[in-house]
Amino acid sequence: MNSFVTWFAGTLGKYISKELAVFIISLFPILECRGGLIASALLKVPILKAIPICIIGNIIPIPFILLFIRKILDWMKGTRLHGISEWVESHALKRSGKLKSGEFIALMLFVGIPLPGTGAWTGSLIAALLGMDIKKAVIAELIGVAIATCIVSALSYGLLGAIGSLG
């Protein structure tokens, strides 16, 4: 992901403001807030400016995914894109694992722990496919995005090293 974020930030950064590049990166699935924070560190965007930009970029897609993904996947099943629809559903349901029991905490942690294949996009897809209450899903994902933001900010901006040097 780092090499893709570096390329993306370098390419976008030439044509638009650094902040807008970070925002756009944060909107993308897979990259999300994590990619935006890495890009903001590479582009030297101050952390206090980067965090709200990345969070806003990461949360904007959540309600749209929760509200419309089932309709989009159902529509795709009636087209030549049915294979993609089936792959997306099976991929999301495989990742849902134990989300069915203790769904709020499970969704929050799924979104919050910055590992490949986790995040708000996949979390929203899983929540929608499981029929999770939309308000509950949005709150769990917002908390998850905040957790991921704290973890990745600390790693991207080297705060763990600064904290370690205080002791």
Task: Report how far residue 31's alpha carbon sits from residue 6's, in angstroms, rounded to the nearest whole number.
Answer: 11
Q: Average pLDDT, whole number, for the chain? A: 85
pLDDT band at 90 (very low <50, low <70, confident <90, very high): confident
- The predicted pLDDT at position 93 comes to 76
Task: Report how far residue 104's alpha carbon sits from residue 94's, in angstroms, rounded to the nearest whole number.
Answer: 18
- The predicted pLDDT at position 163 comes to 41
Task: Report how far residue 77's alpha carbon sits from residue 55's, in angstroms, rounded to the nearest whole number.
Answer: 32
Region 76-91: mean pLDDT is 89
Percentage above 70 pLDDT, the chain: 89
DSSP 46: -
6-10, 37-41, 130-134, 149-153: which range is least confident on average?
6-10
- The predicted pLDDT at position 166 comes to 45
Query: For the chain, what are the domain ranges?
Result: 2-59, 61-151
Q: Note the pLDDT tens digit of each residue in 30-81.
A: 889 988 998 888 888 898 999 999 999 999 999 999 999 999 999 999 999 8
Measuring CA to CA, how many Å separate 11 from each of 2, 22, 38, 43, 97? 14, 12, 15, 11, 37
Q: Is the pLDDT of residue 100 over 80?
A: no
- The predicted pLDDT at position 16 comes to 87
Task: Report how far residue 161's alpha carbon sits from residue 121's, in angstroms, rounded to the nearest whole number.
Answer: 30
User: What pTM was computed for the model?
Assistant: 0.79
Taking alpha carbons only, the member of 116, 2, 137, 13 closest to residue 67 is 137
- 53's CB contacts (< 8 A; 6+ apart) are 19, 22, 23, 26, 36, 40, 45
Taking alpha carbons only, the member of 110, 9, 120 closest to residue 58 is 120
Q: What is the DSSP string of 18-44?
A: HHHHHHHHHHSTTTHHHHHHHHHHHTT
Task: Report how far residue 53's alpha carbon sits from residue 110's, in angstroms, rounded to the nearest whole number.
Answer: 22
pLDDT band at 108 (very low <50, low <70, confident <90, very high): very high
